[in-house]
């Protein structure tokens, strides 16, 4: 097999049977790739996925596939790669991918040294077990590796009908920060907003239900118009008094969040200036408000610069 071509008739084995594997493996099968087995420590999930694919649960020593997809958590990847390298499999000409966002293709170096074509293949999507083929629809894949690996990854993405972003190895961790902010950060922001509504006496479920249309519409505007045009609210309007009220209320209700909100407002000021809708003089006034409240929240004592007036970090 020409490893850089990865024709749809190629066979594949999935290592891992979690959320991403439960979407990617059936998508590979739907694109014409031939399932040759599932490897996983979780026997129950492995059997469920193997049944969906019409293949068997296999041991690493039994792998004879053209493509091996390592769909495992980052912390487990090194052990999985070591296990594969010690399996006795002839890796010459085979393709091996991992689905980590933060790790580059060097995580698969032991297999590359044995002749495998290796690459990172990270679908930019949040998956919840059990996932489906539909969860991959239209999802962009962050591909990384050397020239051969990059070509193999792009070929695979095209076969699945997915767009590709080429991610340099040295940028992999920063790239993953961006995806984490966009997904995990959004979830955390929603949770914080619900907590603050709860502090107002509003039921959390009712609060989240009220916020959902706001979040959905905001995302739609970002996609349609871009962040600069989608930005609304008191910061971009230059409403300094409202931002001051925000900090005053937050200082009373949850002072530990003041530095976080300060960072958020600071970045919003930056975005407002970049959009051309917030003048620099008003931006400076907003940043003065941020600095004043953040400085007070830390309550630095001249004799003890490590003093902290917020909640116990270990609580």
Q: What is the pLDDT of residues 75-134, one digit of tens each?
A: 999 999 999 999 988 999 899 999 999 999 999 999 999 999 999 999 999 988 888 889
Task: Provide the pLDDT confidence category of residue 62 given band limits of 50, 70 and 90.
Answer: confident
How much is the pLDDT for 5?
Answer: 59
Find out whether 85 and 114 touch, Cβ atoms under 8 Å: yes
The CATH number assigned to the domain with range 11-167 reads 3.40.50.720
Give residues with Cβ within 8 angstroms of 130, minimum separation 6.
Answer: 19, 22, 48
- pLDDT value of residue 299: 66
According to the model, what pLDDT value does residue 237 have? 95
Work out the average pLDDT over 243-252: 95
First to last CA, the chain: 57
Query: Which parts of 119-239 fold into alpha helices (H)?
Result: 147-159, 172-180, 186-199, 204-225, 227-230, 234-237
CB neighbours of residue 251 within 10 Å: 15
Q: pLDDT value at position 7?
A: 75
Task: Please give the backbone phi and psi of residue 312, each rounded to the nearest 5 degrees, phi first.
Answer: -60, 115
DSSP character at residue 67:
E
Find the DSSP H helices in the chain: 21-30, 43-53, 74-85, 109-112, 147-159, 172-180, 186-199, 204-225, 227-230, 234-237, 240-253, 258-274, 280-298
According to the model, what pLDDT value does residue 311 have? 40
Using pLDDT thresholds of 50, 70 and 90, give the confidence band for residue 142: very high
Boundaries of every domain in the chain: 11-167, 226-315
Asked if omega into 130 is within 30° of 0 (cis), the reply is: yes
For the stretch 159-196, pLDDT in tens is 999 999 999 999 999 999 999 999 999 999 999 999 99
Distance of CA 58 to CAs 16, 55, 77, 136, 223, Å? 11, 9, 18, 25, 43
Res. 309: pLDDT tops 70:
no
Rounded CA gap, 148 and 95, in Å? 10
Instruction: Compute the chain's Rg from CA coordinates.
Output: 24
Nearest to residue 49, comparing CAs of 22, 29, 79? 22
CA dist 69 and 284 (Å) reads 51
Q: List, in order, residues 6 or more apart from 42 with CB less than 8 Å away.
A: 17, 18
Our measurement of the distance from residue 209's CA atom to the centroid of its chain's CA atoms, rounded to an integer in Å, reads: 24
| Cα–Cα distance, 98 to 75 (Å, whole number) | 12
Residue 130: per-residue pLDDT? 85
Res 221 pLDDT > 90: yes
Dist CA 249 CA 260 (whole Å): 14
The pLDDT value recorded for residue 300 is 47
Question: pTM of the prediction?
Answer: 0.84
Residue 310 has pLDDT above 70, yes or no: no
Above pLDDT 90, what percent of the chain?
A: 82
Tens digit of pLDDT for each residue in 253-306?
Answer: 999 999 999 999 999 999 999 999 999 999 999 999 999 999 887 764 434 444
| Closest of 241, 251, 239 to residue 298, by C-alpha | 251
Q: Tell me how far apart the alpha carbons of residues 256 and 2 are, in angstroms, rounded to a whole number.
A: 57
**Average pLDDT along the chain:** 90
């Amino acid at each position: 097999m020409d490893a850089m071509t990865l024709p749809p008739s190629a066979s594949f084995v999935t290592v891992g049977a979690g959320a991403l594997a439960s979407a990617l493996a059936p998508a590979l099968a739907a694109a014409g790739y031939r399932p040759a087995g599932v490897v996983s420590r979780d026997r129950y999930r492995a059997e469920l996925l193997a049944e969906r694919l019409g293949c068997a649960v296999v041991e690493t020593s039994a792998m004879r596939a053209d493509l091996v997809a390592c769909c495992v958590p980052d912390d487990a990847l090194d052990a999985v790669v070591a296990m594969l390298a010690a399996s006795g499999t002839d890796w010459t000409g085979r393709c091996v991918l991992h689905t980590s966002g933060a790790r580059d293709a060097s995580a698969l170096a032991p297999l590359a040294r044995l002749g495998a074509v290796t690459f990172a293949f990270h679908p930019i999507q949040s998956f919840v077990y059990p996932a489906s083929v539909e969860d991959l629809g239209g999802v962009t894949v962050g591909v990384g590796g050397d020239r051969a690996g990059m070509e193999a990854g792009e070929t695979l993405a095209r076969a699945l009908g997915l767009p590709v972003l080429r991610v340099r190895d040295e940028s992999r961790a920063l790239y993953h920060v961006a995806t984490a902010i966009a997904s995990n950060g959004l979830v955390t922001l929603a949770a914080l907003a619900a907590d603050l509504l709860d502090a107002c006496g509003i039921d959390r479920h009712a609060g989240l239900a009220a916020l959902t249309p706001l979040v959905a519409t905001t995302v739609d505007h970002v996609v349609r118009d871009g962040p600069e045009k989608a930005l609304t609210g008191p910061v971009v309007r230059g409403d300094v008094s409202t931002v001051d009220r925000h900090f005053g209320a937050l200082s009373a209700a949850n002072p530990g969040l003041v530095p976080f909100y300060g960072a958020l407002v600071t970045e919003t000021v930056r975005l407002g200036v970049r959009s051309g809708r917030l003048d620099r003089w008003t931006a400076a006034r907003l940043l003065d408000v941020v600095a004043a409240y953040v400085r007070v929240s830390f309550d630095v004592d001249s004799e003890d610069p490590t003093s902290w007036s917020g909640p116990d970090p270990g609580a």
